[in-house]
Amino acid sequence: MYLDYDLSSIQEARVLARKAKQAQLTLENYSEEEIDKILVAMVKAVEDNAEWLARMAVDETKYGVFEHKVIKNLFASREIYNSTKDIKTIGVIKEDQDQKVVEVAVPMGVIMGIVPTTNPTSTIIHNTLCSVKGANTIVFSPHPNAVKCSNAAVQLLHDAAVNAGAPEGLVGCVTKTSMKATEELMHHDDISVIVATGGSAMVKAAYSAGKPAFGVGPGNVPAFIERTADIKQAVTDIVTSKTFDNGMICASEQAILADEPIKEEIITELKSQGCYFLNPEETEKVAKTVLTPRGGLNPAMVGKSPKFIAEKAGITIPAETCLLVAPLDGHGTDHPLAHEKLSPVLGFYTVKDWKEACHLSIELLNLGGIGHSFSIHSQNEEVIREFIRKPVFRILVNTPSALGGIGYTTGLTPSMTLGCGTWGGSSISENLGPQHLINIKRLAYGIKKADTKVSENKSCDPSFSSDDIASIVKKVLHQLQKAQ
């Protein structure tokens, strides 16, 4: 029975890839206006069904907050479309009159999307819009715990696109999930590129498939509250970010680094906004609950509420608690909560100054967030600029980190797929957009004559004689002696 299911899932993957390839060969001949009509139709479908998709995702995965998943769905459709609609991805996209080079966009082909259980519908929406924008088609391999909501999102997008004139099969999704089906898609000849949003193991597998791939590394975002910060606003931003969808966005804060002179004010403000500070015994219990003995995330605790986590940990917290805060004094194996948690649990450190914050932030990032994001709250521009040197590609200033990282509250490209550059094992260091899912061919005219003739007075002998070289050496030695 297991073997039959496995074979069936592989066959489904093959059929989806072939259909997507046929659709892509048709779609690549569409004009920019025809592509835009399809995109608008898909966005409208999501807007009309954002709540339904959010409810389905929460009910199936048991992760996150319904209202916040609605926002994510709308962000992944409306905001993504509005931010990318003017990007040229069809036909001639640039012409340099001086250098006489014409750039022409060419579709990559069929994209494979690997979908996480944390953002099962919004990731599909975002990746579909980015793919179709460049006249690509896409096939998704969803997380086993989010098959129904992922397929619902795909079917919604597919039907809206086809009704707007798109070819059948431009977006598809595996319904019989298995590792074999995912591997089949990764290695299928009709798949051109992989977009992997998920755990480190899956992203690594995508990069090992022998195809171009875009992967997302883990985040372990430190949030430094520097002494010149607006403390109330900084805490508000962090609470807003860390409670959004119960902390499941990878750019959400994982630890506060409190500047020592304002430490007590920060603690007071955190408590006033509903944060519960764990004592050492409670910290140990929560650590054992949200993380596995090997230090990995406990899937059963990802995206759960503080109340749920506290009950499982066997501790009592006030009913109005929005975040669990764990004071920490280290970041090694003895301090598991120094790692990424993807839940409303936040580490808390005290640092003497911004220099110590720099050092500690690097240590925390090296635990599993290198290349991703760093957050700082400060009014001192000189201190802020010092953190440009840190090993991350998103330095988020005076903003909720989760929402700033995805481009919701900042000027970054709105995206649900955040590249971590070579430091984090990613092929891109910015937020993924449609511009990454096109090839660019170049038409280059000759602008200067090729001079390949050898002077008649020169031969293959060296240009300098031995006497010439000796004279030059003598002059250099003389100048050195004068300098001394």
Both 251 and 107 in a single domain? no
In terms of C-beta density within 10 A (0-12 exposed, 13-18 middle, 19 or more buried), how is residue 461 classed? Answer: exposed
With a cut of 80, say whether residue 475 has pLDDT above it. Answer: no
Within a domain: 56: yes
Same domain, residue pair 236 and 206 = no
Asked if residue 121 has pLDDT above 70, the reply is yes
Axis crossing angle, helix 122-133 with helix 147-163, rounded to the nearest 10? 30
The answer on pLDDT for 272 being more than 90 is yes
Q: How much of the chain exceeds pLDDT 70, in percent? A: 94
Out of 130, 149, 250, 322, which one is annotated catalytic? 250
How much is the average pLDDT of 215-240? Answer: 95
Q: How far apart are CA 227 and CA 355, in angstroms?
A: 12
pLDDT (mean) for 119-148 = 97
Comparing CA positions, the residue from 145, 128, 141, 121 lying closest to residue 53 is 121
pLDDT, one tens digit per residue, over 56-80 is: 999 999 999 999 999 999 999 999 9
Residue range 447-468: average pLDDT? 67
Where does the pLDDT of residue 455 fall: very low under 50, low under 70, confident under 90, or very high at 90 and above? low
pLDDT tier at 440 (50, 70, 90 boundaries)? very high
Average pLDDT, the chain: 92
pLDDT at 195: 95
Beta strands in 289-404 (DSSP E): 323-327, 345-351, 371-377, 392-397
Can you give the pLDDT at residue 292? 85
Q: Supply 82's token pair.
A: 């509005």
Q: Is the pLDDT of residue 484 over 60?
A: no
Residue carrying the six token digits 């109340």: 307
Number of domains in the chain: 2
Question: 175 and 54: one domain?
Answer: yes
242 in the same domain as 145:
no
Of 256, 285, 261, residue with least CA distance to 271: 256
Predicted local distance difference test score (pLDDT) of residue 1: 44
* 250 tagged catalytic: yes
Q: Is residue 265 in some structural domain?
A: yes
Segments forming the whole domain that contains residue 145: 2-215+433-441
Region 295-317: what's the mean pLDDT? Answer: 94
Beta-bridged to residue 92, according to DSSP, are 104
Which CATH number goes with the domain that contains 341? 3.40.309.10
Q: Do 75 and 27 share a domain, yes or no?
A: yes
When pLDDT is cut at 50, 70 and 90, the band that residue 2 belongs to is very low
